[in-house]
Structure 1
Amino acid sequence: MDVKTLTIDRSREWTVDDFLQLEESNTPCELINGELVMSPSPSPHHQDVASNLNDFLKAEVKKTGGKAFFSPIDLYIDRKNVFQPDLVYISAEKKSIITKRSIEGVPDLIVEIISPTNIFTDRNRKKKVYQQIGVREYWIVDPANHTLEIYKHDQADPDTPHVYLVKEGEVSSSVLPDLKFDLKEISLSD
Structure 2
Amino acid sequence: MSLTVEDLTALQADHPDWRMELIKGEIVVMSPSGYESDEVAAEVIRVLGNWVRPRKLGRIAASSAGFRLPNSDLRAPDASFVLAERLRRSPKSFAQLAPDLTVEVKSPTDSLEAIRTKIQEFLSLGTRVGILINPDDRTVEVHRSEQAIVTLRDGDVLTVPDLLPGWEVQVVDLWAPEFD
TM-score bracket for this pair, using the shorter chain length: 0.7 to 0.9
CA distance in 2, matches of 1:27, 1:14: 17
Is the contact made by 2:153 and 2:172 (CA closer than 8 Å) also made in structure 1?
A: no
Secondary structure at the aligned position of 1:48 is classed as helix
Secondary structure at the aligned position of 1:38 is classed as strand
Q: Which residue of 1 aligns with 2:27?
A: 36
CA 1:98–1:105 in structure 2 vs 1: closer, same or farther (change >3 Å)? farther
Q: Which residue of 2 aligns with 1:108?
A: 100
Q: Which residue of 1 aligns with 2:78?
A: 86
- Give the RMSD, CA atoms, in angstroms: 2.0
* Structure 1 stretches of at least 4 aligned residues deviating more than 4 Å after TM superposition: none
1:147-166 maps to which residues of 2 (within 5 A)? 147-153=139-145, 156-157=146-147, 160-161=148-149, 163-166=150-153
1:122-141 maps to which residues of 2 (within 5 A)? 122-124=115-117, 126-141=118-133
Secondary structure at the aligned position of 1:67 is classed as strand
Q: Which residue of 2 aligns with 1:6?
A: none
Q: 2:138 aligns with which of 140, 146, 165?
A: 146
CA distance in 2, matches of 1:34, 1:94: 26
Q: Which residue of 2 aligns with 1:7?
A: none
Give unmatched runs, 5+ long, in structure 2. none
Please say if 1:185 is aligned against 2:178: no
Deviation at 1:58, TM superposition (A): 0.4
Q: Which residue of 2 aligns with 1:22?
A: 11
Secondary structure at the aligned position of 1:184 is classed as helix
CA distance in 2, matches of 1:91, 1:68: 9
Give unmatched runs, 5+ long, in structure 1. 1-11
Is the contact made by 1:64 and 1:92 (CA closer than 8 Å) also made in structure 2?
A: no
Is the contact made by 2:154 and 2:170 (CA closer than 8 Å) also made in structure 1?
A: no
Deviation at 1:42, TM superposition (A): 1.2
**1:15-68 alpha-carbon deviations (Å, 9 max, x no partner):** 222112122533321111112111221111011101111111001111331111
CA 1:151–1:188 in structure 2 vs 1: closer, same or farther (change >3 Å)? farther
Q: Which residue of 2 aligns with 1:8?
A: none
Q: Which residue of 2 aligns with 1:9?
A: none
Deviation at 1:103, TM superposition (A): 1.3
TM value normalised by structure 1: 0.82
The sequence identity of aligned pairs, in percent, is 23
CA distance in 2, matches of 1:46, 1:58: 18
Amino acid across the alignment from 1:173: V
Amino acid across the alignment from 1:36: I
